[in-house]
Amino acid sequence: MEYYIELVINGLLIGALYSMVALGFVLIYKASDILNFAQGEFVMFAGYVVAFVILTESSGIFAALGFPGAGLPIIVAIPVALVVMVGVGYAVEYSLLRHLVGQPVHAVIIATLGLAFFLRGVAQALFGVESRNVPLPINQDPLFIGDLLLNRTELIAGVICGLVFLGVGWFFMKSRSGIALRAIADDTTVSMGMGISVRKYFGIAWAIAGIVALVGAVFWGNASGVDIQLALIGLKVFPVVILGGLDSILGAIIAGLIVGLAESLAAGFLDPIVGGGTKDLTPYVLMILVLMFRPYGLFGKPIIERV
Amino acid sequence: MLYRATGSFNRSYADELKVYQVPLPKNTIIVITFLVFVVVPLTFNEYYISILNFIGVAALGAIGLNILLGYTGQISVGHGAFMAVGAYTTAVILREFPDFPWFLALLGGGVGAAVIGMFFGIPSLRIKGLYLAVSTLAAQLIIEWGINHWPWLSGGAQGSVYVAHPTFPWMVDGELAMKPMKQNVEYYFLIYITLALGIILALNIFRTHLGRAFIAVRDRDIAAEIIGIDVFKTKLAAFGISSFYAGVTGGLYAFLYTIANVEAFTLLVSIQFLAMCVIGGLGSILGSILGATFVVLLPIVNDLVVRGLGGALLGWDDATASTILPKVNLILFGGLIMFFLIVEPDGLAKLWRTITDYFRVWPFPYI
């Protein structure tokens, strides 16, 4: 019995981490109507920056110039990475996305895919290719609640994800910038007519997505190490984004929890039957089912087409 | 500059249906055919022929994806997986039935991929654009997973299926026999004859009702439905034909590599084909070929430049250059995709058209 409760709790906690990355997708889609295929690479880049600041060994251009790492504690690493990710978000928006306004959707998809490869190459060149671990100052002993075995890091990650979601939700609902972003997502031309600077807010939206990527990177980097594989988290999170609805923050949370749960339960129940690997397959099958029956997701807004 | 277009003066239906209305394109095709099938195989050396082989196969795949993306407007990130289906189908047919003619096995690979492609095209009935792209991404990953987890087909995860060499009739020891292909030049003829057939098929599709239905669905699918085009059947046909091309391409890759392995058909390959179509120009067969040439040549040119310049200017030895090379490849690949989309979203084919238009109306600025 405990096994199943542990499966459920583990699934929910992993799901919280998925929702964190999904939030990045949703924010950018909500603000600029673009599905950012490079979001996984944002997470990877943030992870590389954090690892660079914390650790003292690396390869790549910085190492070749004689500066392989800073060795500073994580309290310093997070603000530094924050600044870098905000910079990356602004830079991407300024150089690439500005030119893609009004282009057909396939052009935007391929542009973000190109950006994904570009970021991979830049991260590898700057920081080197080897896998590195991001140590967090959290007690590594497992926590026992009754008979249940829980991972402290995952619990703290879940709590922090919840706080970030509350923060982002408040930002979009109550703050001036959040309301401006929602206005732009609703109707860009009217917002421009109301005096909202669309350029500035596109930049802000991408910068926030960079920040959210950083939060995801810290925990995923700790769980599975920082290297190129971390960028694949972007692929894994597509089912979450589609299930929840591309433009719904609430959907990102709920869908993340659902997908994490489904993965965990599938691994627990189906793996012994099939022989392994269902963990990877389940989210995509779930996504195709959702796309067939309810393409806009649980909480997304349906797009009504007119001739 | 060798002719001026002054109007269409056809006096019979036969004249109107002619493929070449003026002699210049026909003569150009004759010259190109002579160059491709006679001059190049006799004069180029092995290394360049092998590069041309890869360009040829990639061009065939890119034409398939262009039919789906450029002419029908359906975004598909699953092209690599359909190629994998074709490769494995060809390989397994030849493994289970060793005396089966290899060109029928190749076509069988195409048909198998077409069936799978049409199955994964079913969501296109309800979703379009971004959502369809994500659904085909799921198709890519599900097919990869399926191949890895079906031991009969693939020999388990990371297993390869060995493919027999295709054979062709040739003089062996003074008599006509079936000789297996081992040389690059022999593959060259196989690939370029298939590519020529593929190009003729693709160009002719767009002279038929189905082809015009594809273009209508791309431009205004709701209006197309209203005037009586069955949009779902058209979209399924587009997925089917495009996946047929992908399957034949996969089979050719299987022949070229002599194995069928799912690692050769990952998401990266799908994205490379998307890049070929976009860089070359959507909605244009010439664009697919130019894009394929560009994307296949990029790593090779990159290699030469990084090793050459790095060695000469910065004193890099081979080892350093080898570690830098993959990163520069990624940066250049991604950077060039973004650059092309910003500067010339209609691709290399548009660039070519701009140049030929300039010469066509020269010395006037416009006609």
**Chain A touched by B333 (CB under 8 Å):** yes
* Residue B216 domain-assigned (yes or no): yes
Where do the DSSP E strands lie in chain A? 143-145, 148-150
What local confidence, expressed as pLDDT, does residue B85 receive? 93
pLDDT in 10s for each residue of chain A, 307 residues:
777 888 888 888 889 889 989 999 998 888 888 888 899 999 999 988 888 888 777 777 777 776 777 777 778 888 888 999 999 888 888 888 778 877 788 888 888 999 999 998 998 888 887 788 877 777 777 777 776 777 788 888 888 888 988 998 888 889 998 889 888 888 888 888 999 888 888 888 888 888 889 988 888 888 888 888 888 888 889 889 989 888 888 888 999 999 999 988 888 888 777 766 788 888 888 888 888 888 888 888 777 776 6
> How does pLDDT run across B47-72, given as a tens digit for each residue?
999 999 999 999 999 999 999 999 99
Quick check: helix, strand or coil at residue B72?
coil
Q: Residues, chain A, total? A: 307
CB B40 within 8 A of CB B50: no
* C-alpha to C-alpha distance for A48 and A42, rounded to whole angstroms: 10
Q: Which chain B residue has the Cα nearest residue A123? A: B327
Q: What is the pLDDT of residue B269?
A: 92
What pLDDT is attached to residue B54?
Answer: 95
- Asked whether residue B187 is domain-assigned, the answer is yes
Angle of helix A198-224 versus helix A39-54 axis, rounded to 10: 60
A125 touches B at CB < 8 Å:
yes
- Closest residue, chain B, to A275 (C-alpha): B149
Asked whether the predicted pLDDT for residue B80 surpasses 90, the reply is yes
* A173 at B interface, C-beta within 8 A: no
pLDDT at A172: 85
Residue range B133-143, pLDDT digits in tens: 888 999 999 99
Confidence tier at B158 by pLDDT (50, 70, 90): low
- What's the N-to-C CA distance of chain B in angstroms? 12
Question: What does the alpha-carbon distance between residue A99 and residue A94 come to, in Å, rounded to a whole number?
Answer: 9
Question: Is B362 a member of any domain?
Answer: no
* E-assigned strand segments in A77-179: 143-145, 148-150
pLDDT tens figures, B193-205:
999 999 999 999 9
Q: What are phi and psi of A221, to 5 degrees?
A: -65, -35
B278 touches chain A (CB under 8 A): yes
- B198 lies in which domain range? 18-266
pLDDT score, position B157: 64
C-beta of residue B77 within 8 angstroms of C-beta of residue B140: yes
CA distance linking residue A178 with residue A31, whole number of Å: 10
pLDDT over 90 (residue B107): yes
Interface test with A, best of B140, B282, B298, B341 (most A CBs within 10 A): B341
A255 and chain B in contact, CB less than 8 A: no
> Chain A closest CA to B11's CA: distance in Å?
39
Question: Measured between alpha carbons, how far is A5 from A147 in angstroms, rounded to an integer?
Answer: 10
Say how many domains are in chain B.
1
In chain A, what residues touch B326 (CB-CB under 8 Å)? 124
In a domain, B333, yes or no: no
Highest mean pLDDT of the ranges A31-35, A123-127, B108-112, B186-190: B108-112
Shortest distance between the Cα of A99 and any Cα of chain B, in A, equals 6
Q: Which residue of A has its CA nearest to B73?
A: A106
Length of chain B: 367
pTM: 0.90
pLDDT at A75: 80
B255 domain residue, yes or no: yes
Does pLDDT of B121 surpass 70?
A: yes
Phi-psi region of B366 (alpha: psi -120 to 50; beta: other; left: phi over 0): beta
DSSP string, B151-189: HHHHSSTT--EE-PPPEEEEEETTEEEEEEP-SHHHHHH
Per-residue exposure over A135-158, b if at least 16 CB sit within 10 Å of its own CB, e if not: ebeeeeeeeeeeeeeebebbbebb
Report CA B347 to chain centroid distance, whole Å. Answer: 16
Residue B172 lies in a domain: yes
**Contact criterion met (CB < 8 Å) for B274 and A110:** yes
Q: Is B104 domain-assigned?
A: yes
Q: What residue of A is the nearest CA neighbor of B135?
A: A288
Terminus-to-terminus CA distance in chain A, angstroms?
56
Q: Does B129 touch chain A (CB under 8 A)?
A: yes
Note the pLDDT of residue B156. 65
Token output for A17 = 């981490």
Assigned domain for B342 exists: no
Of A106, A118, A121, nearest to B69 by CB-CB distance is A106
